[in-house]
């Protein structure tokens, strides 16, 4: 039994649109620059976004000589005379691992003293082990998107062969 031309075209278009959506979502999630304005081109990320109390998270950035503040609250900012939790050495980038203390929202602020270079990121510290089954890595999204794109091409090729 052969599929109608409408169903074959519709199926191919649907698969291609789904693949494109998955691929662009994966690319957008992979680049923190897409989060908005980054004064001085400085980007800071804190991963994972959710961590259990006592677990570790990593703060990384694309600039060196940063003063890093780990502050309780979702919109916290350091006081003018605050002492940073960590100061990184000069260089092109940094990566520092911290231990999450208690449950709640945490704001991570990294800045280059005396300049406009700085950025913030947020993590959530939970009491229980975080449910990581709902998060998909960008590489898994890319593979899923490519698989759907190949399926759409196969449906289109089959349609051309039987046309």
Which residue is associated with the tokens 């051309």? 160
Q: What pLDDT does 116 receive?
A: 81
pLDDT in tens, the chain (163 residues): 555 677 777 777 777 777 666 656 554 444 444 455 555 678 899 998 888 888 899 999 998 889 999 999 888 888 888 899 999 998 888 999 999 888 889 999 998 888 888 888 888 888 765 556 655 556 777 777 778 778 877 877 777 776 6
28, 142 in Cβ contact below 8 A? Answer: no
Position 137 scores a pLDDT of: 56
CATH code for the domain of 38: 2.60.40.1930
Domain count, the chain: 1
d(CA 163, CA 6) in angstroms, rounded, equals: 12
Sign of CA dihedral 100, 79, 112, 86: negative
pLDDT of residue 70: 92
- Cα–Cα distance, 119 to 96 (Å, whole number): 15
d(CA 11, CA 152): 8
Tell me what pLDDT residue 39 has: 53
Domain carrying residue 50: 5-162
What local confidence, expressed as pLDDT, does residue 135 receive? 55
Q: State the first-to-last Cα distance of the chain, in angstroms, to the nearest integer.
A: 14
């Amino acid at each position: 039994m052969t599929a109608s031309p409408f169903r074959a075209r519709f199926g191919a278009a649907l698969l291609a649109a789904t693949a494109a959506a998955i691929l662009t979502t994966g690319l957008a999630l992979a680049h923190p620059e897409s989060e908005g304005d980054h004064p001085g081109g400085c980007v800071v990320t804190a991963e994972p976004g959710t961590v259990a109390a006592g677990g570790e998270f990593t703060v990384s950035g694309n600039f060196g000589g940063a003063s890093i503040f780990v502050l309780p609250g979702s919109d916290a900012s350091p006081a003018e005379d605050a002492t940073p939790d960590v100061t990184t050495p000069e260089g092109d980038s940094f990566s520092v691992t911290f231990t999450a203390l208690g449950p709640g929202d945490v704001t991570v602020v990294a800045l280059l003293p005396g300049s406009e270079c700085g950025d913030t990121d947020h993590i959530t510290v939970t009491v229980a082990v975080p449910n990581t089954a709902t998060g998909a890595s960008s590489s898994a999204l890319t593979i899923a998107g490519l698989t759907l794109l190949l399926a759409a091409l196969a449906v289109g090729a089959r349609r051309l062969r039987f046309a």
